[in-house]
Amino acid sequence: MEFAYSAASFRLRSLREAVNAIAEGGFRAVELLADRPHLFPQDFQASRIDELSQCLEDRKMKVVNLNACSVSALGDGVRPAWIEEDWKQRELRIRYTLDSLRLAAALGIPSVTTNGGGPIPESMNEKEAWRLFVANMHRVLPLAVKLKVRLLVQCEPESLIRSSTQLKKLMEELSDLDALGVDFDPVHAWCEGEDPCEAFERLREHVVHIHLSDGGEDRKHRHLPLGEGAMDVVRFLRCVQETGYSGAVTVHVSSAEREAAEVVEAAVSYLRQWGFWRD
């Protein structure tokens, strides 16, 4: 496993500040955020590619993923969704994802993560929403194939694709498209009442990236710092180790309300304490 830290924790800071904080905390890999004030595709110009590349090189940082799940620059984060009633809103999500794939390719980022479709509109039943989501996947995946960037889907509470079983079904339905994969989040499985190890085992042949945080005892959708929740994070990481997974595991907490150095260093300390961190 290769550990990274998500810049999404530092939404209120500049991209350079986020990268510096993560590097100073001890990480050598980072997940970037496709949103303002970081890497919103519509704002990002070619001239900034060299600037960002130099920042990453100075800090000896590797980018493992581009997070395009929640985009506040277009709406409230989850919306606009893949399955909006309004086709213009659906187009915003599709175009944003296509632009995120192009941005990832330009920066040499191997994958882009999107969400599980969004909440099902009242005017649709689940079957109708599923067909619409699959149709929209067919619109974006050809570009992912062309650019050789993986598009990763994660199951998410209160979305069309909520469980590992549903995500497995999606992977099987779109199995002919090699650019599709899974970004596995154990907290999302935890929120749905699933055992994170069992859910990971169900999806492991498709898993390309893992998001890591702790889950609350109430199983509400929150991403807590490692060791501060009720989910057995250590057991989950050992399950992942046993499968021989060698991809990135990105620590992703909901926010960094404490000092940046404290939040990032706490993650390193936790991983080192349980024998997962390699200096």
In 3D space, the residue among 42, 26, 34 whose CA is nearest the CA of residue 8 turns out to be 34
**pLDDT score, position 256:** 55
Q: Is 2-273 a CATH 3.20.20.150 domain? A: yes
pLDDT for the residue 192: 95
The reported pLDDT for the residue numbered 81 is: 96
pLDDT digits (tens, 9 = 90+) for 119-151: 999 999 999 999 999 999 999 999 999 999 999
| Mean pLDDT of the 215-219 span | 93
Measure the CA–CA gap between 188 and 182, rounded to whole angstroms. Answer: 13
Q: How far apart are CA 153 and CA 69, in angstroms?
A: 9
Domain ranges of the chain: 2-273
11 has a pLDDT exceeding 60: yes
Percent of the chain at pLDDT > 70 equals 98
Measured distance CA(105)–CA(148) in Å, rounded = 8
CB half-sphere exposure, 223, CA atoms < 13 A: 21
What pLDDT was estimated at residue 278? Answer: 85
Helix, strand, coil percent content, the chain, rounded in steps of 5:
40, 15, 40
Tokens of 140: 């974006």
Q: What is the pLDDT of residue 170?
A: 97
